Structure 1
Amino acid sequence: MQMRLILKAYEPSHRDAVLKLWKNSVLNNLFSADGHLWKINVENNAAFKPADFWGAWNEQGILLGFVLTRRFRDITAPPVMVERYGKTGWISLLLVEEGSRKQGIGTTLLEKAHDALSDVELIRLGGDFSHFFPGVPEGEALEFFSNKGCNFNKELINDLCLSLDNWRLPEQPTSIAGGDYFFTQGKAGEEESILDFIGLASNGFSPRWHYDLERLFKIGYSPENITLIKSRSGKIEGFLQTWQAKEVIEKGLSRPIIFWAMHEKPKEKHGSIGPLGINSTIRGGGIGLALVAAGTEHLRKTGVTFATIDWTDLTAFYAKLGYQSWRSYKIGYKNL
């Protein structure tokens, strides 16, 4: 006899059941369920609507699984953002209670997600705005989605980590040591200059970087968190965002990797870096790596003892400074 499921859109009263299911899952071993993060990424997210979330409940009122979808709904966004993301939908989370798997619950929730995203051209698995995960974490979820017609890139993307206890700033490249360029933290009033640099088409940066940072500035993210490389004349030639746990929590910033790290290493002081961008005309010669080192040193000087990097395929590049692979994912998608 097939189990009868009751599907419900999200209500704040469901939060405890959602977090309980998550905490009792294998997922929680690497990605801890945190009520604060849930509020940031879901309940307090301006783009979230209750019908983006569907929970599967049994007749006894127990939550057996849920799915969270995303849409890009910012009608005030620049045309390039609407063009790139307006026809994309995301499955941000899909989780089924351990003892209730292989009973069709995951399939039912996935079908519900497809219904919710029926008018998009592409469904991405993870990597959404205010994402929990940049892709699908390595594990049995990859097989589930593959069996449902989803495709995956062969290459892994990674979260990286580095202990700063004994870390020291490496020798600077000639262009830095000779004074052609220098590193500095951003200052209040430089917001527009930083955004202008990121928005330069010649640099080929993702428009999402500009969009995300502009929103971050509006909710109190300080330009002092951005490590800049400038030419002798003071022109911005590169940027690296840095993050600290205290500010992430106090200002309600979406940086899940901070929460995962705090759960795994509660005695450390946590920080993170990324994204990173260098002017296309000065790339090479160790400039980019030196900027990463400068941002890492900035975190260390503020007392951070454990640094992380979210969502990168440049593992070998960051490994030159000691960063190691910490969490691995695959980018998954389904063309409609």
Structure 2
Amino acid sequence: MRIRLFRAEDEPAVLELWNRCMGEAFPLDAPLFEQNVLRDAHFDPEAVWVGEDAAGNLLAYAHAKVCKEPLGSAGMMPEQGWIGALAFVPDEQGKQAARQLLRTALDWLKKQGRKRVNYGSDPAHFFPGVPAEQTLHQQLLREAGFAIGEHVAVDLVRELADYRVPDEVEANLHRLREEYAVRSCTPQDVPALLRFLQQEFPGRWYYETVKRLEVEDTPRDILILTQGDAVVGFCHTFHRGSKRIGPSIYWRKLLGEAYGGLGPIGLAESTRGKGLGLALLCKGVEYVQQQGAQRMAIDWTDLVDFYGKIGFRVWKRYHPASLNL
């Protein structure tokens, strides 16, 4: 068995390996792999590895990341590193290769001067943390020195056949219509949207919005809450027509052909307490439904009760996993 750097021609075998390892819960395809790894701004060709047996068959895959550009106000995070994913053949030889890849990744991150490493939650992440059902991954991470936290982040899911905006939400929007409105973002709105994000959510949500706007033909799939000429809320939505594969639609194969997703979503602090967060959420779900989605997901949250108000239920669970180098 040997560990070596990933080569472009390894991609089909990596996808096959990933899907053998965890494809039932997290089916990976080439567009998502290329978006989140090979074309990501934080990609480093020296930080993607495979383990292979004597015959050249892949046994394990892993990649690590450090910031290559500032994550909004969070900056370059010079002490933070990530292991973005680990996939391996579920046998003894595969587990041994995975252990070696974890050591290789941690050694590389240490050489980059990193003092803290998270599994998942990286820029262009696949996972917010280690999936709760991946007990073997958790075992290997613990062996490597990671602490697995008790906190649970979740992805949520909802069928849309029976969805409609609740009457009380429509009534609230009608009552506030002189001051607030929910609508799709236009190109002319983008400067106001970015000013709002820089003020209210200047870190990763600002950064991820900028990255999305670079690839989409139009900003209309970002809904905005306006107060006069000002943007005071935002909601990303995703569907089959989206060019960016948002985190809520990563596992779209499991959602079916008519898939959709939502998030992140946020309001200016000054607008909270008026029911506008729920209104923006409801209108976001309605918008996804109008794009033809029949089933949709919301990713990486712990607000189960809030989203549960309109029928979302827990779909996937993740635990934080971190290590101090």
Query: TM-score, normalization: structure 2?
Result: 0.92
Give the letter aligned to residue 184 of structure 2: Q
Shift of 1:53: 0.9
Q: Which residue of 1 aligns with 2:145?
A: 149
Instruction: Say if 1:158 and 1:310, in contact at 8 Å, map to a contact too.
Output: yes
For residue 46 of structure 1, report the CA deviation from its aligned partner.
Answer: 3.3
Deviation at 1:173, TM superposition (A): 6.7
**Alignment of 1:177 onto 2:165:** no
Report the secondary structure of 1:66's partner residue.
strand
Could you say which residue in structure 2 is the equivalent of 1:271?
260
Residue 133 of structure 1 is matched in structure 2 by 127
**Residues 320, 287 of structure 1: alpha-carbon distance in 2 compared, 3 angstrom cutoff:** same
1:27-48 Cα offsets, whole Å, 9 max, x none, are 1111112122111112222321
Q: 1:78 to 1:209 in 2, by over 3 A?
A: closer
**What is aligned with 1:80?**
73
Query: Partner of 1:93 in structure 2?
Result: 85
Matched, 1:160 2:156: yes
For each residue in 1:186-242, what CA deviation from the matched residue of structure 2 results, as whole angstroms up to 9, or x when unmatched?
A: 112211110100111xx3x251111111122122253211111122x2322211111
Q: Provide the C-alpha distance between the structure 2 equivalents of 1:22 and 1:103, rounded to a whole number of angstroms.
A: 14
Q: Quick one: structure 1 residues 315 and 114, their matched pair in 2 at CA, closer, same or farther if it must change by over 3 Å?
A: same
Identify the residue that residue 47 of structure 2 maps to in structure 1.
Answer: 52
RMSD of aligned Cα (Å): 1.9
Indicate the residue corresponding to 2:236 in structure 1: 241
Corresponding residue number in structure 1 for 2:284: 295
Alignment partner, residue 193 of structure 1? 192
Q: Residue 174 of structure 1: CA displacement?
A: 5.9
Matched residues, percent identical? 27
1:255 pairs, out of 230, 240, 246, with: 246
Within a 5 Å distance, the mapping from 1:307-326 to structure 2 comes to: 307-326=296-315
Q: Distance in 2 between matches of 1:81 and 1:103?
A: 35
Q: Which of residues 100, 111, 115 is equivalent to 2:107?
A: 115
1:67–1:110 CA contact under 8 A, matched in 2:
yes
TM-superposed deviation, 1:314: 0.9
Q: Secondary structure at the match of 1:65?
A: strand
CA distance in 1, matches of 2:170, 2:47: 49
Is 1:227 paired with 2:223?
A: yes
CA-to-aligned-CA distance 1:165-187 (integer Å, 9 cap, x gap):
11111122765221232211111
Q: Extract unaligned runs of 5+ from structure 2.
A: none
Question: What amino acid is aligned across from residue 216 of structure 1 in structure 2?
Answer: R
Aligned AA (1:81): A
CA contact (8 A) 2:159 2:295 kept: yes
Given that residues 239 and 291 in structure 2 are in contact (C-alpha distance below 8 angstroms), is that contact kept between their aligned partners in structure 1? no
Secondary structure of the 1:91 match is: strand
Asked if the contact 1:173–1:285 (Cα under 8 Å) also holds between the matched residues in 2, the reply is no
Q: Following the alignment from structure 2 to structure 1, what is the Cα–Cα distance between the partners of residues 297 and 118?
A: 24
Over 3 Å counting, the alpha-carbon distance change for 1:151 and 1:206 in structure 2 is: farther
Question: Judging changes above 3 Å, is the alpha-carbon distance between structure 1 residues 326 and 116 closer, same or farther for their aligned structure 2 residues?
Answer: same
Distance in structure 1 (CA, Å) of the matches to 2:229 and 2:286: 21
SS of residue in 2 equivalent to 1:154:
coil
Letter in 1 for 2:60: G
Equivalent residue for 2:29, pick from 11, 20, 34: 34
Distance 1:304 1:79, change over 3 A: closer
Mapped contact 2:120–2:128 kept (Cα < 8 A):
yes
SS at match of 2:74: helix
Q: Following TM superposition, by how much is the alpha carbon of 1:79 offset from its aligned partner in structure 2, in angstroms?
A: 7.5
Shift of residue 52 of structure 1?
Answer: 1.1
